[in-house]
Amino acid sequence: MTLELSLNQQPAHLRQGSSIGQPLTRRDGFLKVTGAARYAADNHPPGMLYAVLAVSSIARGRVALLDVEAAKAHAGVVEVMTPENRPPLATDPDAKNNPFMFRLDLLQNDHIRYPNQTIAVVIAETLEAATEGAALLSPRYEAQPARVGLDGAESFVPGGVGIGSPAVHHKGDVEAGLKSAATRIEATYETPAQYHNAMEPHAIVAAWDGDSLSIDTPSQGLAMAQGRIAGLFGIAPENIHIRSPFLGGGFGSKGMISGPQVLGILAARLVGRPVKLVLRREQMYGPVGHRAPTRQTLRMGMDSEGRLTAIGHHARTASSTFDDFFEPAADASHTLYASPAIATSHEAVRLDTGTPLFMRAPGEATGSIALESAIDEAAAACGMDPLEFRQRNYAEVEPMTGKPFSSKALRECYTQASERFGWQRRPLQPRQMPDKDGFLTGWGIGTATFPAIMFQAEARAVLRADGSGLMETGAQDMGQGAWTAFAQIAADGLGLDIDQVDFRAGSSDLPNAGIAGGSGHTATAGMAIHNAGAAVITRLADLATRHEASPLFGAGNEGVLARGGRLYRRDDESRSESYGEILARAGLAEIDGRGTGTPDSASREAYAMHAHGAVFAEVKVDPDFGQIRVTRLVGAFAAGRVINPRLVRSQYYGGMIWGVSFALHEEAVTDRRSGRIQNANLAEYHIPVNADVPSVAALLVHEDDPYVNALGIKGVGEIGITGTAGAVANAVWHATGVRPRRFPIRIEDLLG
Amino acid sequence: MTSLPLTLTINGHRHELEVDPRVTLLDLLRERLELTGTKKGCDRGQCGACTVLVDGKRINSCLALAVSHDGAKVLTIEGVSHGEDLHPVQAAFIAHDGFQCGFCTPGQIMSTLGLIAEAQAGDDPERIREGMSGNLCRCAAYGGIVEAVLEAQEQLAKADRRTAA
C-alpha cells in the first residue's frame, strides 16, 4: 500500500550521511494527529453491512436454543449466521499443522468451551440493528461446571512450552547445590491472567469478489494470516489481499488471525456483500488470546560470599481445554544469573478459558517478576545490597548453555542507571526512608533481558532514473515505528536521503516481511531491506563500472560506494556519477534488487544473543492505607544498534509502564462459579492512566554486536516490561518490609 | 426504528440529518458521516478514544446519543488543523512522540484542546496528568503526551500574546 505520508518538518536534525541512528519524528505522525491514518474499522466499502457477534455467557456446555426468528424479524437485520447456515470451510478450524497455528471457533458446532465464545453472528444494514438483533437471540444453554483457576484441574507436564521449548531443563545438580549452600531461600509467586487490550479492538472489513477476497484487518503477520485464511477457505493465498497499514496496538493479540476476524469473512460470504465486524471490548476477553496465570516456585542457594550455588524455578500455568499454549515462565532463569546448577520445569492445567497466547514478553515477563523478586529475597537473606548481589552473580556466559554472549553491556546498564537513580544512597534495610509527608519510600532494582530473535523476511528495492528510490516489504506498524525506522534503513541501504525514498509496507501483496513480534521485526525486515538495497546498488554499480563512458569504469563492484544518490570510487572520491546518469546511459527507467532477512545459523549456534537492561524503581506507600504510587523509574538498556533513538525510547517507556502495570494494576478476575470474567472492560481491568506514571527515564547504552546480524540490531519492543515489574515489587518491599508474593500487589497484602 | 430530525454543526459545516434515536454521536460520525478519525475503543466511556468537543467541552461521544445534542457545535480531529498547517497541539504530539500506535491519539488531542480551554491545569504536570487520565494509551506514551500539552500551551499563550500586542 502506498501511503501519502506527509513528512513533518521538525525537528531539524543532523544527517551526517546516514539516516540510521537519527532521532527522526514519525513519518506517519501527520496522518495520526489529523485522524487521517486509516485503521481497519475506518473502511466502508459500498454496500457494506454490519456484523455483530453474539457470545456465550457460560464457560462450558452447549447452546440449547437461539431465537433466530426474533433476531431476523428485527428491522434492518439481513441474516443470522449460526452453525446451521455457516458457509462451508475447506479445512477443519480445529485442525493444526504447525505451532504458530491455533484452533479457531468458527461456529463449527453448538459446543461452548469458554466464555465469550461466538455462538452466532447477526448481520444487518446498521450497527444498531445488528446489535439489537444479537440481543434478541436470547440464548438458552445447557451448562456444565466450569474449570477455573490453577487448582481447577489435574496438572500434567506439557510436551513443550512457548514455541517448542522443552518443559524441563537442567544443568548441574540443584539439590546438591541447595544442600551445600550457606544460605537458602524458597518462595512462591502468583501472576494473574492478563489481557492484551490493545486500544483498537480486533476488526475486519471483508469483501468477496468471486473467489477473491479483499480484507482490511490489523495483523502482526500478514503472510501468516493470508496463509491461514487461504487454508480455511481453500483458495490461493494470492487471491487474498490484506491491508494493514496501521495497527492500533497488537502486543501479540494480532499475531495470528483470530476466530472473530474469520467470522467476518464468513459473514461476507454468507450475505454476498462486504461486511464490517468489530469486536466489542468485552468480547476481547476470550477469542483473541491472553497471558496465562502462573504460580512459580523459586529455590536458590548461596555460598558464604553470596554466590549462587543453585537455582530451581518451577512454574505451573494453564491452557485451554482444546489447544496448547504454555507460558514458558521458568525459562527466564536460563539466561541471567550464573549458577553451577539450574533446573527449570513446567506443569499445566486445562481450564474453560480461551486459549492463552503470546502477550508482550510471553514467559519473560511472568518469569522475570518471579526471578527478580527471588533474587532480591536471596540478596536480603545474604545481607547484601541487591545490585551488588546481581553483580556478584553476573553471568559471563549464558548460564544454561555455557555459550558466550554475542554482546552483553549489562554492567554498563547497571552503572549508568544506578548513577542516574542515585542508588548508592539506598539504606540496606526496609522502612528506612519515610518522606516529609509520612509516606514510606522504597527503592528496588530489576534486571531486564530479552532474546534477540530473528524470523524470515523479504524486501524489494528499486532505483529510478529520476534519482529516487522505492523499498517494498509487507512490514507491520503497530506503533513501534516501522514506517519510520524501516525508511531509515532503506535510505541508507539505497544510499539516498530519506526524503528520496518511497517506502511501502502494510499490505499482503508486498514481499513477506515476516512477523512483527518477538521484538524481531526491526532486525528481520530491516536486514531484508538492507540486503535488497545492497542488491540493487550492486546492479547499478555493475552498469557503471563496466561502461567505458562512466567515471567509475574499471572500479569493480567492491571499488564503489553509494551515498547521497551517487556512486563514488572508493580510491578517488572525486570520481563519481549520479544514479540517474547511470540509468539514463543504460536506457533504463529503473532497476530492482531483492534481499532477505534471515538468522545466521552458524553464529546463533556459537553465541547466546540477548538484549539486557537494568531498571530502578522508587515507590511511595501510604503507611495507613497501603496505597502504592510509583514515583520514579530509571532504566538503562543495551540492545545492539539503535535505528531511531526517539522511537526506541518510546518503546522502552511503554514496556516499563507495562512492567508497572504488571506489578500494580492488571488482573482478569474469573468468577469461580460461572467461569466468566468479571472485569471484562477498561474500567475494572486496570491499566495505567497518565496519573499513574509520573517520571520515567530510559537510557540507551551503546552496544556493538557483530554477530546478531550485519546491522547489529537486537530488538527493543518487549525488554522494558522485564526487570521493571520486579523492580517495582522489590521497591515495595524496601518501602514496607512486606515481600509481595502475588501480583498485582494488593493493598490488603501490605496491611497484613 | 423511527428516525428523528437532527441538526449539528460539525467542524464548521451544518448537517441536517434524520437519525435513528439509538445512534450515538460516535457512530453517527464514524459510520454515517465518514468522519472516522474519532475512534471507538470501548463504547462505554472508559477509554476516551472517542473524545470530541461539543459546544467547546470535551465529551465521550460514545456515551452521547446523537439526537440529544440537536443544535450543538461539534469539533472532531478532522477539524483541528487547517489543511497542512497543524494546530500547535498536533505539532507538539509529533515533536514529543506523544503516541505510538496512534489509535488513542485523536481522543488525546481533543482532550488536550478541552483541557487547555478549561484552564484549570496550568503548567503543573501533576494536574495535567490528572486532567488527561480519562484518555487511556495502552502504548503508554504518557510522558510524551504531558510534554506535548505543556509545549502546546506555551505556544498558544505566545500566539495569544502576539495577537494582544
Residues 6+ apart with CB under 8 A from A494: A461, A463, A469, A471, A501, A533, A536, A537, A562
Cis peptide before A744 (omega within 30 of 0): yes
In the predicted structure, residue A594 carries a pLDDT above the cut 70: yes
Q: Which 169-208 residues of chain A touch chain B by CB within 8 A? A: 197-201
pLDDT at A12 (0 to 100): 35
Q: Is residue A594 part of a domain?
A: yes
Here the CATH number for the domain that contains residue A704 is 3.30.365.10
pLDDT at A3 (0 to 100): 45
Same domain, A663 and A617: yes
Same domain, A440 and A349: yes
- CATH number for the domain running over B4-79: 3.10.20.30
Q: Is residue A350 part of a domain?
A: yes
Q: Which CATH superfamily is domain B88-164 in?
A: [2Fe-2S]-binding domain (1.10.150.120)
The tens digit of pLDDT for each residue in A60-71 reads: 999 999 999 999
pLDDT at A98 (0 to 100): 86
pLDDT at A203 (0 to 100): 98
Least CB–CB distance from B141: residue in A50, A650, A683: A650
| Annotated domain spans of chain B | 4-79, 88-164
pLDDT at A752 (0 to 100): 67
A9 touches chain B (CB under 8 A): no
AA letter at A604: R
Same domain, A344 and A401: yes
A86: cell is 455457516
In the predicted structure, residue A11 carries a pLDDT above the cut 80: no
pTM comes to: 0.97
What share of chain A in percent tops pLDDT 90? Answer: 96
Q: Is residue A197 part of a domain?
A: no
pLDDT band for position A2 (cuts 50, 70, 90) = very low
Domain boundary among A573, A598, A623: A598
Here the CATH number for the domain that contains residue A78 is 3.90.1170.50
Same domain, A215 and A338: no
- Contacts within 8 Å (CB) and 24+ apart, A427-433: A428/A383, A428/A385, A430/A733, A430/A734, A430/A735, A430/A736, A430/A737, A431/A735, A431/A736, A431/A737, A433/A734, A433/A735
Same domain, A713 and A632: yes
How many A×B Cβ pairs under 8 Å?
191
CA distance A728 to chain B (A): 17
Q: How many domains does chain A have?
A: 3
Searching chain A, which residue's CA lies closest to the CA of residue B98? A650
A650 touches chain B (CB under 8 A): yes
> Cα separations (Å) of A69 from A49, A127, A277?
19, 19, 21
B144, B105 in Cβ contact below 8 A?
no
pLDDT band for position A155 (cuts 50, 70, 90) = very high
pLDDT at A154 (0 to 100): 97
Q: Evaluate whether ipTM surpasses 0.90.
A: yes
A24 touches chain B (CB under 8 A): no
Instruction: Provide the mean pLDDT of chain A.
Output: 96
Q: Is residue A579 part of a domain?
A: yes
Q: Is residue A362 part of a domain?
A: yes
Same domain, A327 and A432: yes
Q: Is residue A163 part of a domain?
A: no
Same domain, A503 and A587: yes
AA letter at B46: Q
Least CB–CB distance from A657: residue in B81, B104, B140: B140
Domain boundary among A564, A598, A632: A598
pLDDT at A4 (0 to 100): 43
A45 touches chain B (CB under 8 A): no
Domain boundary among A231, A254, A278: A278
Question: What is the C-alpha R_g of chain B?
Answer: 16
Q: Which of A692-696, B64-68, B97-101, B145-149 has the lowest mean pLDDT?
A: A692-696
In the predicted structure, residue A9 carries a pLDDT above the cut 50: no
Contact list in B for residue A721 (CB cut-off 8 A) is none
Beta strands in A155-210 (DSSP E): 169-171, 183-191, 203-209
Q: Which residue has the cell 484441574?
A: A153
Residues 6+ apart with CB under 8 A from A309: A177, A178, A180, A181, A301, A302, A303, A339, A340, A341
The tens digit of pLDDT for each residue in B134-143 reads: 999 999 999 9
CB atoms near residue A2 (< 10 Å): 13
DSSP state of B61: G
Best mutation target, B44, B60, B103, to test chain A (most A CBs within 10 A): B103
Least CB–CB distance from A26: residue in B36, B94, B106: B94
Q: Which of A550, A552, A584 is nearest to A463 (CA)?
A: A584
Same domain, A567 and A645: no
Q: Is residue A171 part of a domain?
A: no
Q: Is residue A192 part of a domain?
A: no
Same domain, A481 and A449: no
Same domain, A593 and A742: no
Residue A298 is part of which domain span? 294-453+605-751
Searching chain B, which residue's CA lies closest to the CA of residue A49? B31
Q: Which residues of A are catalytic?
A: 718
In the predicted structure, residue B8 carries a pLDDT above the cut 60: yes
- Check CB contact under 8 Å for B106 and A35: yes
Same domain, A483 and A590: yes
Same domain, A240 and A119: yes
